[in-house]
Amino acid sequence: MNECWYAFALALICHAHLTPEMAFEQLAIGRKPKGKVYQSKALTADDVADMVKMKETMTYKQIGQVYGMKADAVYTRIRRYKGIIA
């Protein structure tokens, strides 16, 4: 029963990053999540064009936080987009 309260508290504290289900997974130390499928972020060309515009005023890390990506992934997408345009 305490595990439910711990997961609830964890989900409240980290509400921007964790759902209650994800909080239960975080608390399950030593267990692998079953059937977890990693999906790539499907961004459209419009999203990448927005990233290019954002880069004028923001860092790669800040843009990555907006899209839920790492800074190097943002850099790579922008670089590839500029290569296609050029």
Q: Tell whether 77 and 56 lie within a shared domain.
A: yes
Q: At 30, is the pLDDT very low, low, confident or very high (cuts 50, 70, 90)?
A: low
Terminal-residue alpha carbon distance, the chain: 59
Question: What total of structural domains would you count in the chain?
Answer: 2
- CB-based contacts of 43: which residues, under 8 Å, 6+ apart? 67, 77
Q: Quick check: is 10 in a domain?
A: yes
The 10s digit of each residue's pLDDT in 44-53 is 888 899 999 9
pLDDT at residue 38, as a whole number: 46
Q: Which two tokens stand for residue 5?
A: 């309260």
Let me know if residue 17 belongs to a domain.
yes
Percent above pLDDT 70 for the chain: 77
Query: Is residue 19, in this structure, part of any structural domain at all?
Result: yes
Say if CB 8 and CB 24 are below 8 A apart: no
Regarding whether 26 and 49 lie in a shared domain, the answer is: no
Q: For residues 72 and 26, which has the higher predicted lDDT (pLDDT)?
A: 72
Q: Which two tokens stand for residue 15?
A: 């509400």
Domain containing 8 equals: 1-32
